[in-house]
Amino acid sequence: MVVFQDATPKKGHYRKFAVRGLDGQDDFAAMAQVIERRFARMSNPADEEYDEGFAAVPNLVVIDGGKGQLSAALAAMQRFDLPRVAVIALAKRAEEVFLPGRPDPVQLDPHSPGLQLLQRIRDEAHRFAVGFHRQRRAAAARESIFDTLEGVGPARRRALLRHFGSAEQVLAASQEELEGVPGVPAKTARSIYAQLHKAGRA
């Protein structure tokens, strides 16, 4: 989720939301969940989801999608006691703008500053989301390295991650550092180091 103020990105207010508990691909449910979690972050300072960066009420919420995504977002927002907030959806196809209560989309002049700003917001949200998904895939790939290491079961995997903090730090560790991990025998540590470097992973 990205934030613009005075037509300028406010990158310090960007937030990443990992969608939780959905079976399969459900764009509408995912949209509703993200919108609900975003507004939960401004509703109650005592709530664990509260985020001071989201304390201000936005003037406009731009949804990436069409009529279905807009409906899902509006339904999620109705659960909160919000002042009037404008909400629109921008569909990639033909750059159509969907508005609440209107069955047909609006098509703005492709050269209008308003549409160009909406496109900038949408494209920045895409860029931010793609970067987030790449980071998650890379982290998952690093974690999966443990699955191929001989002599490393769940207990030793936990010991390595507890000691180094991340799979990336395990990959960067020297043999001596691996030998210093509590719960990992020196012989196993040497084997881990050899396997990682033989495979060219580290």
Q: What residue ranges of the chain have pLDDT lower than 50?
A: none
The tens digit of pLDDT for each residue in 70-118 reads 999 999 999 988 888 999 999 987 889 999 999 999 999 999 999 999 9
45 and 126: one domain?
A: yes
CATH of the domain at 178: 1.10.150.20
The confidence score (pLDDT) of residue 129 equals 87
Q: What angle do CA 193, 197, 198 make, to 5 degrees?
A: 110
Answer yes or no: do 39 and 136 share one domain. Answer: yes
Does 9 lie in the same domain as 54? Answer: yes
User: Do 16 and 95 reside in the same domain of the chain?
Assistant: yes
Same domain, 63 and 130: yes
pLDDT of residue 10: 93
138 and 52 belong to one structural domain: yes
Count of domains observed in the chain = 2
CB atoms within 10 A of CB 49: 14
Backbone angles phi, psi at 42, to 5 degrees: -115, -5
Percent of all residues in the chain with a pLDDT value above 90, rounded to a whole number:
51
Q: Are residues 103 and 34 in the same domain?
A: yes
| Domain end residue (candidates: 120, 142, 164) | 142
pTM: 0.65
Q: Residue 73's Cα: distance from chain center in Å?
A: 17
Q: Which domain holds residue 154?
A: 149-198
Q: Which of 113, 142, 171 is the last residue of a domain?
A: 142
Which CATH number does the domain housing residue 36 bear?
3.30.420.340
pLDDT, position 200: 56
Residue 4: phi and psi, rounded to 5, are -120, 145
Statement to judge: residues 47 and 88 lie in one domain: yes
| Location of structure tokens 């990639």 | 92
pLDDT of residue 57: 85
Angle at 141 between CA 136 and CA 182, to 5 degrees: 105
76 plus 60 within the same structural domain: yes
Q: How many Cβ atoms are within 10 Å of 176's Cβ, its own excluded? A: 11
Residues 138 and 187 both lie in one domain = no
Q: Which of residues 142, 158, 184 is at a domain's end?
A: 142
Torsion over CA: 39, 42, 43, 46 (sign): positive
Instruction: Assess whether 160 and 111 both reside in one domain.
Output: no
On whether both 109 and 90 belong to a single domain, the answer is yes
